[in-house]
Amino acid sequence: MSAIIIDGKITAAKIQEKVRKRTAALKEKGIVPCLAVILAGEDPASVSYVTSKKKALEEIGMEDREIRLPGSVSEAELLGLIASLNADPKVHGILVQHPFPRHMDEERIFSAVNPDKDVDGFSLASAGNLALGRPGFIPGTPFGIVHLLRDYQIPIAGRHVVILGRSNIVGKPMANLLVRRELNATVTVCHTGTPDPAVFTRQADIIIAAAGKPGLVTADMVKPGAAVIDVGMNRVPDASKKKGYRLCGDTDYEGLLEIAGWITKVPGGVGPMTVAMLTQNVADAAEDIHTLP
C-alpha cells in the first residue's frame, strides 16, 4: 500500500476560486475587500509568509495593504497602528504577522484587533468563540486542515485525532475546532510534557503534527492506513541547497509513504491552505458573515 499524497495546492485553488467570485460580486457593489498585513521585523520565514499572502490576495483581486515596521518598533506604536486600522472602514481584515519582536506582549497585540476584523482568529474573543462553538473567525491553518480532510473524504466524525503540539496558532485552535459538534472528532493533544507520544499516535486515525520538530513522526508511530497531516515548516541547514537550507516537515515523509493512508506534502500541503482560508475569512469580513466549519 502506498499513501495518497494530499496536495494542498489543488484544494486551495478550489477555495480561492470561490473567494474570487465572491470578491468580484463585492466589487460590483463598490466594496473592495481589503486586508492590512503588518510585519514588524525581518524574520525570514515571516517575510516569506507575507509574500505568499500578498500574491494570493492579488490573484483574487483583493486589496493588500502591507505595512512593514522595524523590529525596534514600540508596542505602543504598533497598538496605535492597529487602532487606526480598526477605525478605517476601507480595511476589512487585519493580520499582524507572528512571531512579533520579543519585547511585545503577544496576547495584547492579537487582542487589539477588532474581532470583526480578526481574520487570523487569534484574539481572545475569536479564541473564545471557537472554543464555545459560536460563530467567529477560525484560524487559517486549523480551518484549512479540516477542508483538506473533507476534500480527500477522510472521515472526521467519531474518529480519533492526535495532535502533536499545543501552540496558540495551530494545536489549541485545531483541538477546539475538531471537538465542535459540527466535526465531532475525539481529540488527544500531545505536547512537550507528554512522555511517550507514540502511545497515542499509534491509536490515531488522523495525526496532525504541529510541533516544529523535523522528522518527529516516524513509521513506528503510525497505525497502518492513518491520515498524517504535517504542519511542520522547519528550515534544516543543507549546504547543497542554494539558500543554505531545505524545508522539512515534522514527519519522516519517505518513511511514512508505505504505512500511512494519506500524507500531506511539505511544502505544498497545509501551507497553501492557510493562505486560502485567510482569503475566505477576508471575504467573510467584507460580507459581514462567518462561514461555519
* AA identity, residue 4: I
Minimum CB distance to ligand GUN smaller for 37 or for 162: 37
Catalytic annotation, residues: 53, 97, 120
Q: How far is the CB of 221 from ligand GUN (least distance, A)?
A: 25
Q: Which residues lie closer than 8 Å to 251 by C-beta, 6 or more apart?
A: 209, 215, 216, 217, 218, 228, 230, 232, 263, 266
Neighbour tally for 250: CB within 10 Å: 26
236: exposed, middle or buried (C-beta count within 10 Å: 0-12, 13-18, 19+)? Answer: exposed
Residue 98 CB, nearest distance to ligand GUN (Å)? 3
| Cβ proximity to ligand GUN, 255 vs 268, nearer residue | 268
Cell of 135: 460563530
* Residue (222 or 229) nearer to ligand GUN, CB: 229
Decide whether 49 or 253 has the Cβ nearer to ligand GUN: 49
CA distances from 105 to 78, 82, 113 (A): 11, 14, 14
Instruction: Give strand pairing partners of 207.
Output: 162, 228
> Which residue's Cβ has the minimum distance to ligand GUN?
98
- Name 109's Cβ contacts closer than 8 Å, sequence gap at least 6: 75, 78, 79, 82, 96, 100
Interface ranges with ligand GUN (CB under 6 A): 49, 95-98, 120, 140-141, 169, 274
By C-beta, is 173 or 261 nearer to ligand GUN?
A: 173
Distance in Å, CB of 119 to ligand GUN, minimum: 9
Q: How far is the CB of 110 from ligand GUN (least distance, A)?
A: 8
Kind and range of the H or E element at 67? strand 63-69
Q: Coil, strand, or helix at residue 248? A: strand
Residue partners of 172: CB distance under 8 A and separation at least 6: 127, 166, 189
Q: How far is the CB of 226 from ligand GUN (least distance, A)?
A: 25
